[in-house]
Structure 1
């Protein structure tokens, strides 16, 4: 069995004229009554059309998409809702291509947001022997030609999000560390200037990646380290991104409850975001230098699994006392962070991981936790998130809790007492070597159980677009806020 990769998305492009014989979609702004967009004529809109963002109506054969007050976020909702409605219509024999009439003075950020929503709102990941349902294949946005660049850029960001979803959604009987590494290699093929190296368990042992080897030691499917390199420009800052790549997490000997364990196929969402971001950064040709590291392992239960009470030695020599084998993500990240500091000499270091259930409790399921040692880096991440349509909330790294990371029998202990998301971040900070560093905990928003905006149930691809926008904040080519 093969997991589908990549999932096809609706193609979106800009045109200046309507096609003969192709149905047109009109937009409507919220109001009392709703206000028509281009092409709706002079008369009032049908009563069924409210213009509320994210609503769609089909009246007398014509589709209307509500764009609310025309805020940037409203356009993203509108694109997603429209495509979901058109997919449903296509399944019952409706058309598979439409022209969408948009205002000619639409801001580029709004065009980008609408495109992003339209490309991702109908995302569907399913492994099935049944015939695929009929779906909408393309939208042409009939508007000013100057918006074409924004629409193309949105397509690249949407593809990054979709690839991240694909990698995280893939079932773990297919997806092991070797599969994830080969998927990264395939995703990078044909992208000029993007290199990928894959290191196996022998290389990891020779270079003392004790955290990765301990976590992966209980599985018959050995760990890998994936390194993606985008050179950018020679004198540009060097950004290193590290993503947790746990391809399945039983919890190890500290085994998880059965309820919800099936969702642990998405426990490599941080690694998926890093792989996808590197591909998008290279496709956009951003001048900043970026390296992506994905330590990949399967946390399993067997006679060779690591134990609570073990002491492991990480890359660089620091030792950790293991107290809970279900807190495995921080152990593989520690190796990769230490390796990055020692060998890659980054100017900025960012890790992203589905790390702690505590962060889900703290921030819910739509906001990522942001920890940072550097105020400028924290600001850049938050602004990148706003540009990407992804929410972040900065969390503290209090000094009074830092001492709790110390261990009596090793240098540090894996699970200090106290607030779990914060103490996990303080553990990781021990391996960052004083480099400006941010830790992104996406345990909440990496998965969704219901549809909202451009998100559908399953892996969300959260953080991939933020990482691209973060890279763009140094290298140019960034977007205005897309909501």
Structure 2
């Protein structure tokens, strides 16, 4: 029997915005870099120059110190120069420090309060709240009683108009943080539990039932009846059959384009007949991180009530090795009839995405397409582990997604779609070949473009930033939740 796992979504610390401090709640004091000694913010009157010199206080972003035992303040946390990204780093570092203390001193308090300086704006406070919520995120399958964690933070803002603006942004970023955490939950779940049916069922549950949102789960019989040959081929080697998750957000009065978000949902990837090396294969439980980002983004879009029609498609399958696995040399017929010559069964993500992209433009009448996938190791080699690749056939769409990623704090870099490599996509025995020769991430994108029906389309290859082996910003080791916030901000921009 599979081991029970934490039920997503993970509960995050509550962040409230209030007019005054609360008695008996530990205080964290903000510090800032300066030309001379670090500047100490409100509530830090007891943090003396002698103490600052003793701990080496600089105020740099994410610098956390325990305050003197006799002081009312419990912590100091640096916000650097006060740039928005520094506030996120500060919030995350503070959450980690509090949780580390609670591991050893469970009675040290699960609540905090921070008096924000008078020049703090809504964006800065929103990023601080994001760091506080996500910096201490943890997914662990254990039989032990979990240690207490940071549960609540009060941000104190005295002036009413500014408090209202900050409260609205903290609430909005709470939805975005929820989407990031849900993406992490789904991607972190071990694959003995997370088969295609579990992922589809969990997606349908967590999105809820707000008015205008529907969730459909298509099983292998429906997929066979409707000709989803790519998804069936990839999932054919597993005893746990594939699924297609179809989320629809169609709020009353929706305007703007109908946006289709498509996410790769490979719940485990052995590579199939083209089997992967053992080293690193355990990380393939996160090979559905793109699909998780789509599920979480559509749910967050509905929570925010954005007046834009959105369809979310996640083709879910296990790529396993067995007597029924698809093989190199096979010809797969996709939804819509286009055929693909298979050359590498470990390039399975593009095979399932091809079906879903075709379905989106042929049957759902989407106006534009965005797909998200942990698609190629080549992308990780090109851009490393903190930047995703952006491929698109539309400059205006590129600008919109880049702006959304900057707003979301998730870095993307536009990559080229090269004409001379596009000439390599056709196959001699099928319409297209799965792995044309050339730079792997670029040729994978060129393959996907064949299934977009000429619509404005963007492909996000997040093979690098979908996973992390160390903490940075609001990220912790494991699945990062990358792209969920970008997708929400991308859709939100159409509602502005």
Equivalent residues, number: 476
Q: Which residue is 1:33 aligned to?
A: 37
Alpha-carbon deviation of 1:41? 3.4
Alpha-carbon deviation of 1:475? 1.2
Output one character per residue of 1:189-212: Cα deviation in whole Å (capped at 9) or x when no partner: 243322100000011011110000
Instruction: Note the residue ranges of structure 2 that are not aligned, 5 or more in a row.
Output: none
Q: Does 1:386 align with 2:406?
A: yes
Q: Does 1:436 align with 2:456?
A: yes
Q: Following the alignment from structure 1 to structure 2, what is the Cα–Cα distance between the partners of residues 73 and 179?
A: 36
Q: Following the alignment from structure 2 to structure 1, what is the Cα–Cα distance between the partners of residues 154 and 148?
A: 19
Report the 3-state secondary structure (helix = DSSP H, G, I; strand = E; otherwise coil) of the residue aligned with 2:423: helix
Q: Following the alignment from structure 1 to structure 2, what is the Cα–Cα distance between the partners of residues 82 and 383?
A: 28
Q: Which residue is 1:68 aligned to?
A: 80
Report the 3-state secondary structure (helix = DSSP H, G, I; strand = E; otherwise coil) of the residue aligned with 1:471: helix
Q: Following the alignment from structure 1 to structure 2, what is the Cα–Cα distance between the partners of residues 417 and 326?
A: 15
Pick aligned residue for 1:334 from 354, 358, 363? 354
Q: Which residue is 1:100 aligned to?
A: 114
Q: Which residue is 1:479 aligned to?
A: none
Q: Which residue is 1:217 aligned to?
A: 236
| Alignment TM-score, normalising by the size of structure 2 | 0.94
Q: Which residue is 1:362 aligned to?
A: 382
Q: Which residue is 1:346 aligned to?
A: 366
Q: Following the alignment from structure 1 to structure 2, what is the Cα–Cα distance between the partners of residues 359 and 235?
A: 35
Report the 3-state secondary structure (helix = DSSP H, G, I; strand = E; otherwise coil) of the residue aligned with 1:65: strand
Q: Which residue is 2:342 aligned to?
A: 322
Q: Which residue is 2:60 aligned to?
A: 52
Q: Following the alignment from structure 1 to structure 2, what is the Cα–Cα distance between the partners of residues 193 and 139?
A: 33
Output one character per residue of 1:42-80: Cα deviation in whole Å (capped at 9) or x when no partner: 975722232110110112142111000000000000000
Alpha-carbon deviation of 1:474? 0.4
Q: Following the alignment from structure 1 to structure 2, what is the Cα–Cα distance between the partners of residues 348 and 255?
A: 35
Q: Following the alignment from structure 2 to structure 1, what is the Cα–Cα distance between the partners of residues 45 and 268?
A: 55
Q: Which residue is 1:481 aligned to?
A: none
Q: Following the alignment from structure 1 to structure 2, what is the Cα–Cα distance between the partners of residues 21 and 234?
A: 47
Instruction: Note the residue ranges of structure 1 that are not aligned, 5 or more in a row.
Output: 477-483
Q: Which residue is 1:279 aligned to?
A: 299
Q: Which residue is 2:133 aligned to?
A: 119
Q: Does structure 2 conserve the Cα–Cα contact (< 8 Å) formed by 1:14 and 1:148?
A: yes
Q: Does structure 1 conserve the Cα–Cα contact (< 8 Å) formed by 2:91 and 2:129?
A: yes
Q: Does structure 2 conserve the Cα–Cα contact (< 8 Å) formed by 1:119 and 1:158?
A: yes
Aligned CA-pair RMSD: 1.1
Q: Following the alignment from structure 1 to structure 2, what is the Cα–Cα distance between the partners of residues 77 and 98?
A: 17
Q: Does structure 2 conserve the Cα–Cα contact (< 8 Å) formed by 1:397 and 1:422?
A: yes
Q: Does structure 2 conserve the Cα–Cα contact (< 8 Å) formed by 1:191 and 1:279?
A: no
Q: Following the alignment from structure 1 to structure 2, what is the Cα–Cα distance between the partners of residues 295 and 120?
A: 28
Q: Following the alignment from structure 2 to structure 1, what is the Cα–Cα distance between the partners of residues 283 and 389?
A: 20
Q: Which residue is 1:420 aligned to?
A: 440
Q: Following the alignment from structure 2 to structure 1, what is the Cα–Cα distance between the partners of residues 367 and 450?
A: 17
